[in-house]
């Protein structure tokens, strides 16, 4: 089985270009991370559910083209992939609009055959998911996901969680979001949150406060991403601030955190120290935000 299994949803992406017109691509937070992990040479699989429309076929082909294992990408006849649209302001900050309520990815852990996906996940060395992943599933789906993570942990897998909080995905139910996040964090050995998201969900006053709160769940390795302010890396009693190497004028901040996470995890899996891995994360994210959309063209990935 793949060393890393990433879980979530891949959607059709429409991003507005400099000329005001939209270009079509594919993306989704945990899928973006899976792509950058695969490009870094990490053996990676993606777990999701797709329809049988031409865009679902394009998603499958894209994953295969990136070298991502697709055996955990279930297919549902008669269904279509979700869609999201990105608008960016003059500073490169993005706003999303979604059409995804009927996407089959939401039913991954309730579809016939979901057990086989779970069994394959348990064989992984590392499982990666986000707050957006959690927002997809019903309580039944979440229960099955968390049980799968427990079995994986018992077999030695590391669980990696990026909070990636989007209020719209939780329909304003902050209490439910917090309760579900807490269940994920209790199972996580590595947390890669973005400080702005933690402020929205938990009201944290500083990256250090975020790290301290996450440590109470038993998370052993924490990296709090804070945009141009760099990242705070906390492992056990050690805490280190890792600045960005140089200021970057963003064109589009989509997938900044996703790409950081991929470079960080690839470096850690390669044996690098957390602070060195954070530097790698900054470097890749800095390249990604100079381009529109979530996934860098291959020629720009180097």
Catalytic positions are: 258
- Tell me the H-state helices in 155-255: 174-185, 195-202, 207-215
Rounded Cα distance, 31 and 250, in Å: 21
Q: In what order do the strands lie in the sheet with 73-75?
A: 73-75, 44-50, 4-7, 126-130, 158-162, 190-191, 221-225, 231-235, 238-242
CB 162 within 8 A of CB 29: yes
Q: CB-hemisphere CA count at 13 Å for 293?
A: 19
Q: Which residue has the tokens 């209490």?
A: 175
Report d(CA 129, CA 135) in Å as an integer. Answer: 11
**Tokens 């959309």, residue?**
293
> How many angstroms separate the CA atoms of 87 and 94, rounded?
6
| Angle 100-197-173 from CA coordinates, rounded to 5° | 55
Rounded to 10 degrees, what is the CA torsion of 85, 90, 92, 93? -70
């Amino acid at each position: 089985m793949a060393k890393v299994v990433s879980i979530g949803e891949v959607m059709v992406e429409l991003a507005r270009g400099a000329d005001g017109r939209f270009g079509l691509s594919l993306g989704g937070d945990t899928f973006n991370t899976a792509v950058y992990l695969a490009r870094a040479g990490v053996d990676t699989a993606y777990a999701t559910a797709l329809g049988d429309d031409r865009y679902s076929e394009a998603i499958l082909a894209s994953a295969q083209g990136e070298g991502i294992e697709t055996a955990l990408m279930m297919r549902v006849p008669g269904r279509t992939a979700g869609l999201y649209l990105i608008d960016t302001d003059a500073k490169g900050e993005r706003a999303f609009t979604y059409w995804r309520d009927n996407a089959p990815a939401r039913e991954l852990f309730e579809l016939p055959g979901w057990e086989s996906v779970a069994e394959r996940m348990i064989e992984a060395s590392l499982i990666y998911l986000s707050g957006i992943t959690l927002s997809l599933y019903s309580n039944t789906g979440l229960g099955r996901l968390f049980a799968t993570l427990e079995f994986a942990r018992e077999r030695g897998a590391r669980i990696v969680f990026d909070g990636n909080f989007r209020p719209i995905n939780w329909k304003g139910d902050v209490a439910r979001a917090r309760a579900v996040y807490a269940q994920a964090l209790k199972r996580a050995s590595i947390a890669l949150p973005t400080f702005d998201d933690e402020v929205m969900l938990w009201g944290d006053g500083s990256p250090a406060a975020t790290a301290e709160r996450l440590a109470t769940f038993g998370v052993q390795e924490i990296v709090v991403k804070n945009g141009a302010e760099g990242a705070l890396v906390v492992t056990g009693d050690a805490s280190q601030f890792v600045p960005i190497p140089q200021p970057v004028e963003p064109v589009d901040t989509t997938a900044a955190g996703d790409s950081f996470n991929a470079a960080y995890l690839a470096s850690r899996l390669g044996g690098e120290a957390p602070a060195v891995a954070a530097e790698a994360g900054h470097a890749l994210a800095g390249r990604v935000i100079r381009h529109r959309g979530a996934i860098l063209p291959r020629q720009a990935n180097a």
